[in-house]
Amino acid sequence: MTKHPVKPKHRADRIGLLAYLRAFRRDILSAQPARLYHAWMAEFKTPLFRSVLINQPDLIKLVLKQRPKDFPKSDSIGEGLRPILGESVFLTNGELWERQRRIIDPAFEGGRLRDVYPHMQAAADAMMARLTMGRHEVEEIASYAAADIIFRTLFSMPIEASAAQDVFHEFRRYQRAQPLLNLGAFIPLPKWMPRFHKRDTLQSAHRIRALIGAMTQARANEIEAGKAPDDLATKIMTTVDPETGDRFSWDEMVDQVAIFFLAGHETSASALAWALYLVAAFPEWQDKIAAEAKALDGGFAGVAKLKATRSVFRETLRLYPPVPMMVRETVQCERFRDRDIPAKTSVVISPWHVQRQDRLWDNPDGFDPHRWESENGKACARDAFIPFSAGPRVCLGAGFAMIEGVMLLAHILRKYRVMLHDADTPVPVAHLTVRAKNGIFLQFDYRD
């Protein structure tokens, strides 16, 4: 019997609304029926709201690439995130979003990746200095390393700096107090329904924004004095919108830093942790990665030589996409698969389901990094591989994330073998990102 990586259990095909809401609150993925791995489209209708999930590549292309302005991000996406993200580029639409992207995009152009790579390398070296033999919870390791990279590339400060430590630990408290993705991010809630924000959650969000605000103000002072380092924060804060001539205000910059930390830290940590789980479950890939990891000595240019590592990381993003679902909204009546879709309907695009779609992928639930060299894998990479979204709203840090994840994975496996014990098999769950219910525990041993 072929061994497959872990996958959440699915719910019964038909359940009542209250049962669904409770299941969704516990975990987005297990709240969905098994038929979504085969269906091209599925509708969810109640007297209060209506949503449609699309898996068909042509429909996904229509929504994300061909007519993105007709399918803006749903306002409900901010239900669980706005206390911490404000009006960041992740939540906005229309002219405001376009202006934000014009200012932010230059900081993430291809050449900038080479410029920030030394910061990534320094964070990787620090991670390896902390890492020891023994049994470790790898989500914690990945989270700390990803946060370190964010602080170093954004503000030229290691995570050991007191300001970075304060933000990191306050953010962890925020996550424990409240899952960042609440029910309103998947289905539009009526105004009278509670949003489940606890007082501790709101207070923690306020503290995080205050800490980020202090870091932003300090950088503004350095820029004014001509003493600011050439990092991502400086680039973004000094970039002028070519159409309006404006820069980000202080409040706007706090919003953007919050999403950079959230997206860059949460998603990268999720991907790296699941990649380590996969190579522990399929250990034959560890030697391949270790053998090519010597290319890391070549710096930024050496990352391009990590072909097996990149294939493993891409397969990780296929099986465990950090952001499992994206929500758009119709602004007018649409026609999907001969069905009328009214205006204000939530359109859910699920990387989790489309990247395991049994009509599209060979061996959809299997771990097979070689698939990216096959005709099926190449075709699906074009049409059904969307871990970073697609179109104008593609994740602006996608290139950054691919270099970071591949580099960190190669560093770890160059020095260690990782092993999974059956008693430690993780259970995937998703709120904001795909994580393990009780963590991912692996044994680390030195290589011979």
Name the CATH superfamily housing domain 17-446.
Cytochrome P450 (1.10.630.10)
| Residue boundaries of the structural domains of the chain | 17-446
Better-scored residue on pLDDT, 74 or 361: 361
The pLDDT score that the predictor gives to residue 194 is 55
Mean pLDDT estimate for the chain? 89
Is the pLDDT confidence value at 322 over 70? yes
Place of tokens 């899952």: 179
The pLDDT score that the predictor gives to residue 104 is 94
**What tens digit of pLDDT does each residue of 105-130 get?**
999 887 788 899 999 999 999 999 99
The pLDDT score that the predictor gives to residue 180 is 45
Instruction: Give Cα 294 distance to the centre of its chain.
Output: 28
Is the pLDDT confidence value at 257 over 60? yes
Q: Which two tokens stand for residue 261?
A: 């930390």
CA–CA separation, 123 and 154 (whole Å):
13
The pLDDT score that the predictor gives to residue 125 is 96
Q: Left (φ > 0), alpha (ψ -120 to 50) or beta: where does 233 sit?
A: alpha
What sign has the CA pseudo-torsion 270, 274, 277, 283?
negative
Is the pLDDT confidence value at 447 over 80? yes
The pLDDT score that the predictor gives to residue 196 is 56
pLDDT band for 197, please (50, 70, 90 cuts): low
Which pTM value belongs to this model? 0.92
Instruction: Pick from 168-172, 199-203, 348-352 the range whose average pLDDT is largest.
Output: 348-352
Pick the closest to residue 67 from 398, 392, 394 (CA basis): 392
The pLDDT score that the predictor gives to residue 52 is 94
Q: Which two tokens stand for residue 51?
A: 């949503």
Which helix (DSSP H) or strand (DSSP E) does residue 222 occupy?
Answer: helix 199-224
CA–CA separation, 365 and 362 (whole Å):
9
The pLDDT score that the predictor gives to residue 242 is 93
Mean pLDDT of 145-169: 91
